[in-house]
Amino acid sequence: MIRAAGALAALVLAVAACGGASLAPPTPAASGLPSVTPMPAGTYTSTGFQPPVTFTVPDGWVVTGDQPLYFALQPADNDLIGIHLFGDPLAASQDASCPAAPEPGVGTTSSELAAWIRERPGLVVSTPTMATIGGLRGVGLDIALRADWTQACPFANGVPSVPLINSPAIDHWVVVGNERLRLYLLDLPDGGTIAVDLDAFDGDQIDDLLGRANAIVRSMQFAVDPGAASPSP
């Protein structure tokens, strides 16, 4: 999926078509396509994303993806902001051609991915903070493009951009233009990582996004063995 949105001249969210399933409240279960109408306020559990994630939303949020390695929530009144979850995120290739491939030699733990992201010359990245979401531990980062960065991926129509994440479920997740995001990298108890991305494709809306999304993220609970300890970040 290639998507250009509002104030952004180009935004690439190349998500592989993996099929999907709708959300369902914990009981009874439901099936079908991702929600296309706003959900009533309540607590829901993903049916596609693994491990399943349970979360609570106020009125007016929409599920825009629920696949084994990708899950997304957006407010129905604004598709420029949202919460995106990725399973098994990998560092994206930094080749100038921006291929849909991982960067060789980069580890996959939260600390390894965070260290690699902070080294990207085109990004402004905050100091990592320890984070715990849904029973998983890891790190949090605030990320934006450097104001003087000029390099652009071939598919970004000349808009400055830096590839960030590649995974089995997505071709490109790229920081473009004035986009801003808060990224949590969480370690799974049995190995592997989940990324929780609070993403404002129009970076001027980051405060609005955080105001809407922080409570949802705090409510998340991943269906993992509570007796297993996540690796330390």
**Ordered structural domains, the chain, with CATH:** 2-222 (3.40.1000.10)
Is the pLDDT confidence value at 98 over 60? yes
Share of the chain above pLDDT 90, in %: 76
pLDDT-based confidence at 12, cuts 50/70/90?
Answer: very low
Is the pLDDT confidence value at 5 over 80? no
| Residue 73 parent element (H or E) | strand 70-75
pLDDT-based confidence at 36, cuts 50/70/90?
Answer: low
| Residue 219 parent element (H or E) | helix 206-219
Residue keyed to tokens 């349970």: 54
What is the pLDDT, as a whole number, of residue 31? 30
Is the pLDDT confidence value at 60 over 90? yes
Residue 162: CB partners within 8 Å, gap ≥ 6? Answer: 120, 122, 123, 145, 149, 151, 174, 175
Tokens describing residue 26 = 């914990």
Residue-wise pLDDT tens digits, 128-187: 999 999 999 999 999 999 999 999 999 999 999 999 998 877 888 999 999 999 999 999
Q: Report DSSP letters for 28-69, one per residue.
A: S---SSPP-SPBPSEEEE-SSSSS-EEEEE-TTEEEEEEETT
What is the pLDDT, as a whole number, of residue 168? 79
Neighbours of 21 (CB within 10 A): 19
